[in-house]
Every structure is written in structure tokens, then in C-alpha cells.
Amino acid sequence: MATPQPSRTQQKQLEPWRNAGEKPYVRVEKVTKRFGDFTAVDDVSLSIYRGEFFSLLGGSGSGKTTLLRMLAGFEQPTEGKIFIDGVDMSDVPPYERPVNMMFQSYALFPHMSVESNIAFGLQQDRVPKAEIRDRVAEMLELVQLSPFAKRRPHQLSGGQRQRVALARALVKKPKLLLLDEPLGALDKKLREKTQFELVNIQEKVGITFVIVTHDQEEAMTMSSRIAVMNKGYIAQVGTPTEIYEYPNTRMVAEFIGSVNIFEGRVVESEPDHSLIRSDEAACDLYVSHPAHIGVGTACWVAVRPEKIAISKEPPLGGEPGRNQTAGVVKEIAYLGDVSIYDVDLDTGKRVRVTAPNLTRRTEMPITWEDRVYLSWRPFAGSVLTE
């Protein structure tokens, strides 16, 4: 049975940023943060909508944490303004913001039990005892830690400690939860499992999450949208698919996953396609979208490794010399489900290809030093101008 597709209205609710009438829950307006003469956050503007799982993704020192700390109120913008739920936060101290922050270190109290750690903030706020009990029990249930309520943090695994920190941040019912590298302390397997848990919990509680991460896979798995940060500015904002399939610069293309970038020059620039001549690729690159730049302009074409087909025979169909090139296999990495091939073209350009391992028995496997043909479809490439 076919899965029912969301209606247009539902889609708009799921993707509020596409709805011009929707008011952002968080609005960052031309925010700059300088420490002395160093600019950590550079003229950033962003809109984040209610219920989003929004990631700030970037390399070390790109300004992600500084931006998060300004949302929390731990730092003040040097220039610009932050609005939360329509209210200017300039004079609102951290404890009066509808915001809670979960730190990478979790900052749990080692001498307190799990339930006391979760209850702590509510006790500080003088919430009645019976209500504290109920809310803590509800949180323990949510993060599946009820059987561990009496344990101390050192008697828990890393993943369980992470869930205590999450419960402690959520119990105060913030409207906005800020998470700084929330899975940073977990090993790879546990990280992957916890990513799904975190998304499920976020959907259950319906709170807007803004997370900081340097891990692109993590951002791709969890986020409604991602802002890619570089040197304090925002390079691109989009859904994981938009960022991956339509990166706007070489920097974003290279940061998100692996990519082949071919340098070339536009020879046809039409509304429905562009043709780029590339000496490096030793073929013409036909792209089924407009480049919006004139004939003769220098540009780059990005092609993801999984979009390139590799074969020992020349490809059937297509047009020779267009999205078809050839080279010699120099490296192979077998990863089980896929294999990675690094192929040197005759021009010296190294091209990466990933191919699923569905080898047909009749086909000879590709091995080192084999001469191979590479080909890809017109929709596989993106034209980039910077």
C-alpha cells in the first residue's frame, strides 16, 4: 500500500520556513560578536521556527558555540539583536529567557542521585514537592531511566548520563532547548542510536531544539534544517537534502560528505541546462539546471561519489565525451555495504566513486590498476561559482 503523502497544508506546517506568513520563534538579526578585535560571529541573520530541530554545523572555531551562548544570554551580541517569541532579548538575563541549555560535559552533580539531579532546577524554583515528584517521574519515563532513579552519575553509562542531562534540561519545560555537542562524549555506535532517541524525544515534547555539532552525519540525521557556519558567517541554511544536493559553494559541498569538484568553463548556459567544458575531467559536463552565468565564465561542477557509475566496459547510452570519462583504479576501500574507488583520470585528476556491493556473479570485480569508465546522469552535478 502506498504511504499517504502529506497535503500541501500539512507540508507547510512541517516546513514552516516555506510559509511566508509564519512567524519565526527565534529571530537572529544581523548579529556580530567580537572578542577584542577578533570577530567570532559575523553578521548572522537566521529564523528558526517553533518545533524545529535546527543544527548549527561547522568546523572548530566557526562560531557555533558563541552563537548558541548568545541565544542563551551568556554572551551579548556586539551588534544586532536576538528576538525569542517576538521579544527583544537585549536586556533579558539568561534565567528569564524561555530557554535552557544542555552542556557537552553534562555538568551533572556527582554526589546526587539521578532523580535529585533532575529535580534540582525545580527545587531552586520552589516548585511544590508533589509537582516535582510527578514531573521528575514523567521525565525518567521519557528518557527511559526510571529503574536508575536512585543511582549516582558514576554508576551510569555515558549514554545514560546523556539522558539524565537531557531530562534535567527538559524538566523545566523550556520553549527552546540549546544543546552544545549533545552526543560528543559518546562512542560512534551509541551516538547513532542516541541520535534517533533524541529526535523521538524532541518530537514527543514538541520543544524547539537548536544544537551545535561539528559532525555532518549527525546534523543530516537529526535536523529539520542546518545552518553551515564557516569563520563566523553562515555559508548556507537549508534542509539536509538541500544542503547535500544543492550546496551553494565549494566550501559547503566539501564540508558535507565527500564530493568531486571539476574546474571548467561554461560553453552553454540555457534555462534548462548548462554545459561546462572541463580539461580536468577530460569531458564536457552536462548539468540539467541553469548555471545563471554567462558563456565563458569559469566555474566548478560538484558530483557526489555515489552518483558516478563505474564499469570496465564503456557505458551503454549517453553521449561519449559528455558526463563520461575514463581512468585507472588506484585505491579501493571495501566497507561491506559499499566500496570506494579512487580513480586517476589521464589528466591526473583523482575522482572518488562509491558503489554499492551488489556485484553480479557474471561480472568480473573491479580491481587495482584496472582501466575503468566513469559516467553520471545530467541531474547528478551542481554548478558552483565560488
Output the smallest distance, CB 78 to ligand ATP, in A.
12
Distance CA 132, CA 126 (A): 9
How many residues does the structure list for the chain? Answer: 386
Residues 6 or more apart whose CB falls under 8 angstroms from that of 358 comprise none
**Cβ contact 177:169 at 8 Å:** yes
Structure letter (DSSP) for residue 289:
S
Strand order in the sheet with 26-35: 38-48, 26-35, 79-84, 87-88
Contacting positions for ligand ATP (CB under 6 A) = 35, 38, 40, 58, 60-66, 214
**Cβ contact 164:132 at 8 Å:** no
Give the closest residue to 159 by CA, choosing from 136, 135, 193, 117: 193
Residue closer to ligand ATP (CB basis): 211 or 285:
211
Output the smallest distance, CB 161 to ligand ATP, in A.
20
Question: 134 is written with which cell numbers?
Answer: 510527578
Output the smallest distance, CB 247 to ligand ATP, in A.
19
Structure letter (DSSP) for residue 17:
G
Residue closer to ligand ATP (CB basis): 59 or 321:
59
Residue closer to ligand ATP (CB basis): 77 or 381:
77
Reduced to 3 states (helix: H, G, I; strand: E, B; else coil), residue 134 is helix
Output the smallest distance, CB 42 to ligand ATP, in A.
10
Q: Which residues pair with 300 in a beta bridge?
A: 263, 384
Question: 318 is written with which cell numbers?
Answer: 549517453
Residue closer to ligand ATP (CB basis): 39 or 347:
39
Output the smallest distance, CB 93 to ligand ATP, in A.
18
Residue closer to ligand ATP (CB basis): 64 or 304:
64
Output the smallest distance, CB 204 to ligand ATP, in A.
28
Residue closer to ligand ATP (CB basis): 69 or 304:
69
Output the smallest distance, CB 61 to ligand ATP, in A.
4
Residue closer to ligand ATP (CB basis): 103 or 373:
103
- Interior angle at CA 318, CA 362 and CA 358, nearest 5: 30
Q: Which residues pair with 260 in a beta bridge?
A: 303
